Chains A and B, each alone.
Chain A
Amino acid sequence: MSTTRQLRGGTRWALSLNAFLVYLFFYAPIALLVFYSFSDDPLVGRWGGFTLGWYRDFGENQEVQNALSVSVKVAIISTLVSVVLGTMAALALERYRFRGNRFFDALLYLPVIVPDVTMAVMMLLFFTEGLSLVNTVFGTNLAKGLATVSLSHIAFSISFVSIVVRARLNGMNEKLEEAAQDLYASRWQAFRHVTLPQIMPGVVGGGLLALTLSLDDVVITQFVSGPGATTLPVYVFGLIRRGVSPLINAVSVVMLAASILLVVLSLVAQRARGESAA
């Protein structure tokens, strides 16, 4: 099983070619995107000499900057909240047996399965109805905005976080928590010192997933956002409709770089944890 077999002749070539094509398919668009973001030509896909102009535009364009700051705020809020709630849900479903356990289990998976558009329409209806109800009852003047976008991101992120955390909890020896209690730890101390460190990779993984989903989302965000709450992906989507310019490339490259940085950071963080622990 563990010995590496040496492939020969046609099989080997075919497999190599397959791998090459797959990677080409993955990375050629990215390479093109990055390449044309430095092109000094207002048309995407035509090389007009090297320039950093589009990045300057990105930095100076107030709309882009606003969208970016909205995206970051929403991402941070929704990630933090959904990590806490998702982990709690995972713990409840994995560690306790209660009435309706299975029902809640199924409910939790629903947002993963439901198509984005459906979710978006539901959210839109919910917020419209909800806000108008609140406004008539309390005489307030609340409108859709940053809060509604954050809430809907939290809503779909919780499921993903809890699925990832549960997988980790499932593989954890329950006896460890009993051992902690036997060694005078209160329930909270047992969670803090034993359970949490054990499920940390799951929590971090779930958090990164939530962060990415939030930074990515266009469909749901577009339905529930209001004036002044445009996120970066939604703004980019809007730009395309108004006519494409390499500014989109520059924005995309920055987003790409940010996500790569996030992944690298999380890897480094985990590596460092492992080493300091060993």
Chain B
Amino acid sequence: MGEGLSDQSLADYAGVSAVAIEGVTKRFGDVVAVDNINLDIADGEFFALLGPSGCGKTTTLRMIAGLEFPTSGSLRIFGDEVGTLPPDKRPVNTVFQNYALFPHMNVLDNVSFGLRMKGVEKKSAATQAREMIELVRLDGMEKRKPSQLSGGQQQRVALARALVNKPKVLLLDEPLGALDLKLRQDMQHELKSLQRELGVSFVFVTHDQEEALTMSDRIAVMHDGKLLQVGTAEELYDQPVNRFVADFVGQTNLIDATVIDDEMIALANGTKIKAPNPYPGGTKVAMSLRPESISIGAPEDVPEEFRPTSLHGVVQEMNYLGHSHVYTVGVDWMPLEVRTNATPTSIKYEPGTEVAIWWDRRSDWVVPDEGYSS
């Protein structure tokens, strides 16, 4: 999937990459957890590894941390090959899933652990740890045990415990997974501003595409051990490289189609639609149409310029979400989701109504029908 790599890689501009992964493969017995991936993460970048469970994202993170070693390939941190260096010899620290705080130590001892192991003298370690505890706004909690803290507070301790060591790269494994929704949103902002303040690369693993889109400078989408696409949130959302990425990142309608020529495709029911694409005639593709880029109206109301990109259908379902109406519109062969802004003046279409839907030619996106198995 080399062509999936973003050519606008930030790493190109920043000189040495914080993390450079070249042709790395990891096998556990017969299982290929990570399959020949290439990845450059720039210094100071907020980078997300996104994918469903079992896609290899956590294994990739653990290889950067040194908790797993690559079966083959090269892994460099700021230019130094670290392939088989143990974790205690690497300039990275990890915020573990569910934090893995030491239950028998209080907050201060947890946070100063790394410094103490590095041989920093006790007093100085405690001073640095206190500063970090203050930075994550836990001052006054130094003597508490992890079990006496809330989930959000434990998360901050885990952050402080890693950051106090001044890692060159901070690794986070599903850092917000154990928090409830409200707290998760607050922590997203906090992580983001903490990262900006420290200027350190954050590499975090998540299965939550919304979280990845909100927080990251760039995102790598993984599936079945393969790296499918690397890019900014906009690139992934607007120009997914294949069907899997289109489906996984955001919500979308995927309409099966066949390429006619570089200007036209034929949808599953034979309807010809204008959709410029780079694929040879006859290629099986899918057209990705985001629900919010589809307009809905009476069949006779389709504006002239949108006629080549319009379909007729019947409203099957209508849901009101406060800020928007979500329609399920049945075209001949499949239901499509359409989302419109709900304003006091917007017209509602009740189930059973015959409607037309249309979209701007620039908002559809044709993807090859591969990389999809869920």
Inter-chain residue pair count (beta carbon < 8 A): 63
Listed in ascending order, the chain B residues whose CB lies under 8 Å from chain A are 65-67, 86-88, 93-94, 96-98, 100-104, 113-114, 117-118, 145, 161-162, 165
* Interface contact A183-B93, CB-CB below 8 Å: yes
| Segment among A46-54, A118-126, A185-193 that sits at the interface with chain B | A185-193
* Interface contact A178-B93, CB-CB below 8 Å: no
Residue in chain B with minimal CB distance to A179: B100
Residue in chain A with minimal CB distance to B161: A183
* Interface contact B114-A183, CB-CB below 8 Å: yes
Q: Given A179-B96, A277-B145, A278-B145, are A184 and B117 neighbors across the interface (CB < 8 Å)? A: yes
Distance in Å: Cβ of B143 to nearest Cβ of chain A: 9
Distance in Å: Cβ of B253 to nearest Cβ of chain A: 40
* Interface contact A184-B88, CB-CB below 8 Å: yes
The 22 listed contacts between A and B (C-beta, < 8 Å) are: A173-B98, A175-B96, A176-B100, A176-B102, A176-B103, A178-B67, A178-B87, A179-B96, A179-B102, A181-B67, A181-B86, A181-B87, A182-B87, A182-B94, A183-B88, A183-B114, A183-B165, A184-B88, A184-B165, A193-B102, A193-B113, A194-B102
Collect the chain A residues with CB atoms within 8 Å of residue B97's CB: 175
Q: Mark A215-226, 1 if CB is under 8 A from B, else 0.
A: 000000000000
Residue in chain B with minimal CB distance to A196: B104
* Interface contact B88-A182, CB-CB below 8 Å: yes
Cβ-based interface call for A72 (8 A): no
* Interface contact A178-B96, CB-CB below 8 Å: yes
Cβ-based interface call for A77 (8 A): no
Distance in Å: Cβ of A194 to nearest Cβ of chain B: 6
Query: With A and B bound together, what is the CA distance between A182 and B161 in angstroms?
Result: 11
Query: With A and B bound together, what is the CA distance between A185 and B113 in angstroms?
Result: 9
Collect the chain A residues with CB atoms within 8 Å of residue B161's CB: 183
Collect the chain A residues with CB atoms within 8 Å of residue B101's CB: 179
Cβ-based interface call for A155 (8 A): no
Query: With A and B bound together, what is the CA distance between A185 and B165 in angstroms?
Result: 13
* Interface contact A183-B103, CB-CB below 8 Å: no
Query: With A and B bound together, what is the CA distance between A182 and B93 in angstroms?
Result: 6
Collect the chain B residues with CB atoms within 8 Å of residue A186's CB: 88, 117
Collect the chain A residues with CB atoms within 8 Å of residue B118's CB: 184
Cβ-based interface call for A112 (8 A): no
- Of B65, B100, B162, B165, which contacts A173 at CB under 8 A? B100
Which of B101, B114, B117 is packed against the most chain A CB atoms within 10 Å? B117
Residue in chain A with minimal CB distance to B120: A184
Collect the chain B residues with CB atoms within 8 Å of residue A45's CB: none
Cβ-based interface call for A228 (8 A): no
Residues of A84-107 contacting chain B, CB below 8 A: none
* Interface contact B88-A181, CB-CB below 8 Å: yes
Additional 6 contacts, C-beta under 8 A, given A179-B102, A182-B94, A183-B117: A175-B100, A181-B87, A182-B65, A186-B117, A197-B104, A278-B145
Collect the chain B residues with CB atoms within 8 Å of residue A182's CB: 65-67, 87-88, 93-94, 96, 162
Which of A183, A186, A194, A198 is packed against the most chain B CB atoms within 10 Å? A183
- Of B67, B98, B104, B113, which contacts A183 at CB under 8 A? B113
- Of A175, A184, A277, which contacts B104 at CB under 8 A? A277
Query: With A and B bound together, what is the CA distance between A198 and B105 in angstroms?
Result: 10
Cβ-based interface call for A180 (8 A): yes
Residues of A141-184 contacting chain B, CB below 8 A: 173, 175-176, 178-184
Distance in Å: Cβ of A190 to nearest Cβ of chain B: 9
Query: With A and B bound together, what is the CA distance between A261 and B66 in angstroms?
Result: 48
Query: With A and B bound together, what is the CA distance between A176 and B98 in angstroms?
Result: 11
Collect the chain A residues with CB atoms within 8 Å of residue B66's CB: 182
Q: Given A175-B96, A178-B87, A179-B94, are A184 and B114 neighbors across the interface (CB < 8 Å)? A: yes
Distance in Å: Cβ of B308 to nearest Cβ of chain A: 56
In the A-B complex, list the 4 residue pairs whose CB atoms are closest, starting with the nearest: A183-B114, A175-B100, A184-B117, A179-B100
* Interface contact A189-B104, CB-CB below 8 Å: no
Query: With A and B bound together, what is the CA distance between A278 and B100 in angstroms?
Result: 18
Distance in Å: Cβ of B164 to nearest Cβ of chain A: 9
Collect the chain A residues with CB atoms within 8 Å of residue B162's CB: 182-183
